[in-house]
Each structure stands twice: as C-alpha cells, then as structure tokens.
Structure 1
Amino acid sequence: MAHRGGAALAPENTLEAFTCAAERWAADMIELDVRLSRDGRPVVIHDPTVDRTTEGSGAVSELTLAELRSLDAGYRFRDPDGRRSQRGRGVRIPTLDEVLERLPWTRLTVELKAEGAWPAAVAAIRARGAVHRVVLASSDSRHLPERSEYEGALSAGRKTVLKFWLAARLRLGRRAAFRRSPPPVDIFQVPTRWRGLAVVTPGFIRAAHACNIPVQVWTVNDPDEMRRLLDLGVDGIQSDRPDLLARVLEEAAGRPPPHGD
C-alpha cells in the first residue's frame, strides 16, 4: 500500500506519485488524503495548509481550486538522493476526481482530513463508479459518513480501534464473543504503536480476524519491520517506500521484485 502514493519517491498526493506506485511498483492499494477547497471541491492534500508541500501559503479551505492548481506541488519535495528533482516540473495538486479517472482499476484508501468533506468525496466516487474499490478512512469518526450513507468500505476511527484494542488486550471475550458483536467497520488501519503502546499485537490481529476484519498498518518504511509485521499476519502495510515494500513482499513470496536489479 503506497502511503500518499509513496511520499519518499515522488511528490506526495500527486498524480505523478500515484501513477508511479501503481505502474512501477504494482501497489495493491494507494492511500491519499482529501480536503475541500474554498469552492467545495475535494482536493488531494494532507496538511490543512499548502505551506509544507508547495511554494504557496495559506489554508486549503481558504483557497479556490484554481488557486490551488496554480501552485507547484513538487516544489519542496526531495528525492531519495536529496535533490529537488520535481520543482518546476508542472506537478499540481489534483482533485479526487482526477485521481479516480487516472487510476480506474486501482484500489484506494481515501483519508478524509476535514469535517464535512465526505459528501463531496462520496459524490465523486459514485460518479466514477468506484465505490467498490474505495475505502473511506479517518482517525476522527466525525469525518466519516454513517454506514447507511456510504455503500462502500469504511475504516475504523480512533475511538473504535481503541475500544477493540482494549477488549483484545484485556481478553474480554473469546473469538466467538468477538464474532457475535463485531465493530461496524470493514477494515482496521492502524499504527504499529500509539502513545508508546503496541497496537499491532498477535492478540489484536487474532481478534480482528475472528471478526473477518483485515488489519492494515501505517506507516512502515523499514524493511525489517515490514518483515516482522508480515510474520505477525497483518493484511496490508502502508509505506512511503513502495519500492522497498514491493521487494520485501516479492522476496517473501519467493519471486524476483518488480524492476529489481
């Protein structure tokens, strides 16, 4: 899973990153972030401001789509060699619709970063007939639609994850108990650790799998940690380095990595 399209290899949350992840590294899923422009368009950018990734400044919510598109989304990116190789190359902040159009077959996790963004995001997803391949996610469940408002997959918010983690940690039920009352989500997308506590444990994974809920982990860039998580039985790994992750996965499967040496 390419986190922000593979943020270490190409300007994050851009069509260039997404295309590279899908076509060069054969990513099974791409994670991206969505906010609303001032004129209500779902745009793909992580931060609440444009300052970190472009030459501009200001809040995304205070800039129109036209103003956002005028910015250089590759301006501050440094490639693995430390070069600003994408500055001035025409890299732009894309809309969600542009991503769905560019990648018509790729599975996506759309992280909703702002309250009130989901109706426009869902409208774009439905318009492209992409509901079956798009997971909606947010650490804040207030940013997510209700189950009745989106027919696609929903990832668990932080509170749901915490409750489930505590139940698994304290062994408040056997597998059958978890199966009888599973949380109303389709996927757990979680960090390996949170506030010093191990989130992804054998018990957490067993409890999730007892409910038929896959466990996907973010954001892992160290190959040894990738291997450890695969040995634990996680179902997906988000990484800024899809090149390294592809190699680890292919090595584990006993096949040569794509575009390998």
Structure 2
Amino acid sequence: MRGAVLRPGRVAPRRRRHGCAPFLLGPVTGAGLVLRLTRRRPGGATTPMAWPAVIAHRGGAAIGPENTLEAFRAAAELGDVVLELDAQTSADGRVVVLHDTRVDGTTDGHGAVAEMTLTELRRLDAAHRLPRTGAARWRAQGLRIPTLEEVYREFPDHRVLLDLKGDRPGTEDAVWSVIRAAGAQERTLVTANRTPAIQRFRRVSAGTVPTAASVREFAVFTALGVLGLHRLYRPPFQALQPPERYKGLRVLTPALVRRAHDAGLRVDVWTVDAEADMRRLLSWGVDGIMTDRPDVLVRLVGGGAPSPDATGRPAENPAPERKDQP
C-alpha cells in the first residue's frame, strides 16, 4: 500500500496474486467461441447462388395488389423472378399469405390473423386498402388472401422467398409441411427477423431448406467480418438479407458483400425501387434485390431503357419506400 503508515504491531496486508489467470481467461473464452462458431451443423441445404436478381417484394407491391395471386401473376409474367411473400398461420393452422399480423392494413376486415379461421379470412377483400398501388383499381374485384399451397401450386417453376411472420406456435411446422408437400425445398428460401423462429424452422426441416440470417445472426456475422474471422464461421444460414440503410444508418457495404461471398453466402437487399440505387447495388455484387418495382429491375438486368412506374412517374423518382419493413 503505497503511502500507508503502519501502526506498531500491524502487518501490512498482502496483495492478492492472481497469477496468469486473467490473461488466460480471454484467450480461452475466445477459443471456445471460435470452436462453437466453426462447428459444422447438420443439414443439406446449399446456398442458392443461381437465383435471379429480381425479387418481387410481396409480388411487386407498386404494380399489383400485394401478397395476392394477382400480384404474383403479374410478377411471373415478367419472366424468371423470385416471388417474395409473407406467411403466417390462421386460427385453424392454415398457412396464409399476408404481411401484417392483423388484417386491418390491406383488407376490409379487422382483427388478428391468428384469431381468425381460414374461412373467415377468405371472406375479406384482400385489396381493400393498398398503400402502394391505391385500392380503387383492385377493390371489390374478388381478390382473396391466398394460402401458401395455392402459391406453390400456381407457380411451380418460380422460386419463393418466404418471410415467416407472427408468433403463433406451430407456424414453422405448418410452413415446412406445405413446402415438403409441394416438393419445393430447393426453390424456397426462408427468412425471419426473430432468431427463435428461424431456428425452429431449421430444426423441423432438418436443415434441408435454405434460410437467411436473422437480425441477431446478421449482427454476429458482421462483427466477425470486422474482426477478420468470417471465413472461419460455419453459419446455419445461406443468405444475408439486410436493408441498405436502417433508420438512417448504413447497413450494407461493398465490404460486407465481399465478406459474405467469401463465406459462401448470397446477399439480397431490401426494399429498393429507384433505378439508380438498383444499378449501384448490382455494381457492388449483390445477388438479389427485393423491389416493389420488379418491372424496372427486369428491364435493368435485361439491358432495357428506364420504364415509368404504375402511376406514370419516372422510375428514378418512385413512391416513398418503406425502409423499415421487409
């Protein structure tokens, strides 16, 4: 004890010696983490690198009534595009295609999807309220909330990017049953923001369907990339699917794209509607672009001239994008 004055008969306290334990703790902990991250995981899913770059977000929400068969048909008519959709389960366990966990956003009904049966959901007008295309054109045209089975049945040759929504128990099992029944394991990529949901899906599907990283898994990969450890990582996923920016902060960079490719992963970015942004992101090497304007992206990757959007606006000045929702 520097500067301490000892009274007669008192013995100075001995300093506790930790030896080399603190110096060994960091390396040992780090080694354990690396061993855990590099451990090979079961499952035969391969990275779908040969998929087309055009991913029709909700079927192309700026050119058709989102998440309906009508929108998917319009997207399919553009050619070889990926159909992106949102899946959740009804009260009776059927897998339906709808983004919001409530029907209020796009239909003429009210209530939670998980509390309504398929019959009740099918009574609703799926195009009553449409934030991108406007409801007037599609309202009262008989458009219904589709089931996932219907999508696979009507589009047997198209790839499907499936976003798990909702928190209803058993959703992952129900989705896997539909995918397996359709024999669509190799043409489906499943994603979910919540780590427990995507982990449950991987378990029930035995890793036979490609999946994308959850938000937490994406953060882990990004951190490992900064540390130069991404090549050692053996991730349980085959794709990264970030936005370019989130709440004003840059998420996607050319360096991240390179690191993902180094690790054998594909990179898809959402949701991009402006042609100038599409060109820039393709130059970075992204594998896919989720867009509400698949018609613009199809023309771009095919070498065509810029096209106007569904309301006549130039593609360089699209309607405002929803950056906070995939």
TM-score scaled by length of structure 2: 0.72
- Deviation larger for 41-50 or 188-197: 188-197
- The residue aligned with 1:39 is 92
Q: What is the one-letter code of the residue matched to 1:156?
A: A
Q: What is the one-letter code of the residue matched to 1:172?
A: L
Percent identity over the alignment is: 44
Deviation at 1:190, TM superposition (A): 1.2
Runs of 5+ unmatched residues, structure 1: none
Deviation at 1:230, TM superposition (A): 0.6
- The residue aligned with 2:217 is 160
Tell me how far apart the structure 2 counterparts of residues 201 and 18 of structure 1 sit (CA, whole Å).
Answer: 30
8 A Cα contact 2:296 2:306, kept in partner: no
Closer/same/farther in 2, CA of residues 146 and 49 from structure 1, 3 Å limit: closer
Closer/same/farther in 2, CA of residues 148 and 56 from structure 1, 3 Å limit: closer
Closer/same/farther in 2, CA of residues 201 and 226 from structure 1, 3 Å limit: same
8 A Cα contact 2:269 2:286, kept in partner: yes
Q: What is the one-letter code of the residue matched to 2:209?
A: G
Closer/same/farther in 2, CA of residues 164 and 126 from structure 1, 3 Å limit: same
Equivalent residue runs for 1:47-196 within 5 Å: 47-77=100-130, 80=133, 82=134, 84-115=136-167, 116=169, 117-144=171-198, 145=200, 147-150=202-205, 151-168=208-225, 171-173=226-228, 177-196=229-248
Tell me how far apart the structure 1 counterparts of residues 232 and 201 of structure 2 sit (CA, whole Å).
Answer: 21
| Larger of the two Rg values belongs to structure | 2
8 A Cα contact 2:212 2:239, kept in partner: yes
Tell me how far apart the structure 2 counterparts of residues 218 and 194 of structure 1 sit (CA, whole Å).
Answer: 10
Q: Report the 3-state secondary structure (helix = DSSP H, G, I; strand = E; otherwise coil) of the residue aligned with 2:222.
A: helix
Q: What is the one-letter code of the residue matched to 1:64?
A: T
Q: Report the 3-state secondary structure (helix = DSSP H, G, I; strand = E; otherwise coil) of the residue aligned with 1:136.
A: strand
8 A Cα contact 2:176 2:201, kept in partner: no
Please list the CA deviations of residues 102-135 of structure 1 after superposition, one character each: whole Å capped at 9, or x if unmatched: 1111100110012331100100110111111111
Q: 1:13 aligns with which of 67, 87, 91?
A: 67
Tell me how far apart the structure 1 counterparts of residues 201 and 100 of structure 2 sit (CA, whole Å).
Answer: 24
Q: What is the one-letter code of the residue matched to 1:161?
A: F
TM-score scaled by length of structure 1: 0.90
Deviation at 1:136, TM superposition (A): 0.9
Closer/same/farther in 2, CA of residues 83 and 43 from structure 1, 3 Å limit: closer
Q: CA RMSD in A?
A: 1.8
8 A Cα contact 1:14 1:94, kept in partner: yes
Closer/same/farther in 2, CA of residues 183 and 246 from structure 1, 3 Å limit: same
- The residue aligned with 2:319 is none
- The residue aligned with 2:298 is 246
What is the number of equivalent residue pairs in this alignment? Answer: 248
- The residue aligned with 2:19 is none
Q: What is the one-letter code of the residue matched to 1:179?
A: R
Tell me how far apart the structure 2 counterparts of residues 107 and 99 of structure 1 sit (CA, whole Å).
Answer: 11
